[in-house]
Structure 1
């Protein structure tokens, strides 16, 4: 059966990026590193061409494409975190390695890849049949940079944040 694998474009530092990404989550590892077999646009013979890796069980590929390409918000990678502790840990790791915070649980890593760091509770709140509670969660999220499970839960329950 065919599978879809996201491929991230880098300019010479695909292996460094993949190693950083797999350090973030359990069930993550480098699967294979393919080296250039000759000199070419993507690097010298023997340099890294492609890194296959899994991130939280999801297969991805990092490609050294030979030139700098900019990422846009048109695509992002979402990490659904078990709890606030994991949100905090992943968020801090990205920022400590050159990432930049954005709004509503989004950030960019040092390579410009857009990530959404989202607690699993957020999905529960938003899928609630209580539309008013879900709307309050969205309003609370819109005021945040890093998502805060306690504040989102208070919004869901109709309590104001202290």
Structure 2
């Protein structure tokens, strides 16, 4: 028996647009299947279901997607793409995309970078994380 667990994202008629958008942000994104109610897509080897469930539910900041990035170039790419066209920047590497879902765009080595209290002080003043800025603060 194989147990699969994946995220279902609720949309009000925008599931296909969102899946196309997310697949454009991540280089290995792909649509698996699609119909007017549900689109199944995959980004970074993680499966998602986009459900056109109607206006009853909205995204919540209580759930976020964490993207670990290798370097500043990758952080910049994901940050710029996900905040484009109506996304919102938040503090400490958090953002909200144009569909209202929250993301954390962080370096893979974030735990090392913020181990120094001065680097942690620098982090809380940042929106998009600047790796060099954290290294210099240490």
How many angstroms apart in 1 are the aligned matches of 2:109 and 2:73?
13
TM-superposition CA deviations, 1:41-70 (whole Å, max 9, x none): xxxxxxx11111111111111110022522
Q: Give the drift of 1:100.
A: 0.7
TM-superposition CA deviations, 1:99-151 (whole Å, max 9, x none): 0111111111111101111121314435xxxx5x2x33322211100000101
TM-score (norm 2): 0.91
Name the residue aligned to 2:18: 17
Q: Give the drift of 1:21.
A: 0.4
How many angstroms apart in 1 are the aligned matches of 2:111 and 2:32?
30
Name the residue aligned to 2:107: 119
Contact 2:7 / 2:48 at 8 angstroms: preserved in 1? yes
Q: Does 1:84 align with 2:72?
A: yes
Matches within 5 A, 1:1-162: 1-33=2-34, 35=35, 48-126=36-114, 131=115, 133=116, 135-155=117-137, 158=138
Q: Closer, same or farther in 2 for the Cα pair 1:123/1:3, shift >3 Å? A: farther
Number of equivalences: 137
Structure 1: gaps spanning 5 or more residues: 36-47
